[in-house]
């Protein structure tokens, strides 16, 4: 199975005619994702040529795109100053899943957008995330399809590039994935670790989970405690930023140590106390997953 997306997911791309939106729309269509609409204000009525013979209608608003095409997921590639507004527009239009790829969205803007999304009962992934992919079924975002294969491991990560590294290591070892989810590392995000872990726990085909965290905040500790109390499959963890000095942002905007609980050591300690096998290096994730699955 898979979580959050599958073959039936119908995607509207906000910012489809921009550089990033157009490039990744081609990639999603090539992978087999049902991209059914695009949105660029002022370009409604045009058609976007997405390759593979796909001709995607462009609308001025998400509301019109959803009404005309039945889109139930949105991928957002609009510039940072407008990304929060794009998220809120998608939520108002009734899209069930919003994937915010855009990096650099102002925190104050996200405070407003996050409140609206929660009020609407919509799932937001990101912003500043690589999106998600259910191998062989659908991908929404920028995770390269060629590094994934279908299989029994769920992956959830705050880091984009480490997601790719871990997934590629698994694939090279012949270990496939149910769904790979990048939740993003900004201070304010939508879907968090526990949301993803709950989804994997409910998926009968997910037989192991990889969780990749970073310094800063306490989300990893909260997730570890949830794993200890609720998850009955092997879990492998890795924490990035182990050599980061206090007070310095490393990578994502949220990856900053501002107290003892935000350190890599504290997160690793909580992982181990919760029964999560901790990888010292990204390459060790593969071997620990193999061990957990009895391969």
Catalytic annotation, residues: 252
Among 205, 270, 208, 257, residue whose Cα is nearest residue 235 = 208
Distance CA 141, CA 134 (A): 11
Between helix 80-92 and helix 62-69 the angle, nearest 10°, is 40
Distance, CA of 39 to CA of 54 (rounded, Å):
16
- Vertex 292, ends 286 and 295: CA angle to 5°? 75
The 10 Å Cβ neighbour count of residue 248 is 11
Task: Determine the 3-state secondary structure of 163 from DSSP.
Answer: helix
Strands (E) in 135-274, as ranges, are 138-141, 150-157, 177-182, 208-214, 235-240
Taking the C-alpha atoms of residue 249 and residue 79, their distance in angstroms, rounded to an integer, is 22
Output the DSSP codes for 165-189: HHHHHHHHTT--EEEEEE---SSS-
Phi, psi of 253 (to 5 degrees): -60, -25
- Burial pattern 65-94, b for ≥16 Cβ within 10 A else e, equals bbeebebbbbbbbbeeebbbebbbbbbebe
């Amino acid at each position: 199975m898979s979580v959050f997306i599958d073959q039936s997911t119908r995607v509207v791309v906000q910012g489809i005619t921009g550089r990033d939106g157009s490039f990744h729309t081609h990639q999603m269509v090539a992978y087999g994702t049902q991209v059914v609409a695009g949105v660029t204000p002022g370009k409604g009525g045009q058609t976007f040529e997405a390759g593979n013979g796909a001709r995607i209608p462009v609308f001025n608003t998400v509301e019109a795109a959803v009404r005309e095409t039945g889109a139930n997921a949105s991928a957002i590639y609009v510039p940072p100053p407008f990304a929060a507004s794009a998220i809120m527009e998608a939520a108002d239009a009734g899209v069930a899943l919003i994937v915010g790829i855009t990096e650099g969205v102002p925190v104050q803007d996200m405070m407003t957008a996050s409140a609206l999304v929660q009020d609407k009962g919509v799932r937001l992934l990101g912003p500043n995330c690589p999106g998600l992919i259910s191998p062989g079924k659908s991908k929404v975002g920028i995770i390269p399809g060629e590094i994934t294969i279908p299989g029994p491991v769920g992956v959830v990560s705050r880091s984009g590039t480490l997601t790719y590294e871990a997934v590629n290591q698994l694939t090279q070892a012949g270990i496939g994935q149910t769904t790979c989810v990048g939740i993003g590392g900004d201070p304010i995000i939508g879907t968090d670790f526990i949301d993803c872990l709950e989804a994997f726990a409910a998926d009968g085909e997910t037989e192991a989970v990889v969780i990749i965290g970073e310094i800063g905040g306490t989300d990893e500790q909260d997730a570890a405690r949830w794993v200890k109390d609720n998850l009955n499959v092997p879990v492998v963890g890795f924490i990035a930023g182990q050599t980061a000095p206090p007070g310095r942002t490393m990578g994502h905007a949220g990856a900053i140590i501002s107290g003892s609980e935000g350190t890599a050591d504290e997160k690793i300690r909580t992982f181990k106390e919760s029964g999560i096998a901790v990888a010292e290096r990204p390459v060790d994730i593969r071997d620990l997953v193999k061990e957990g699955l009895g391969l």
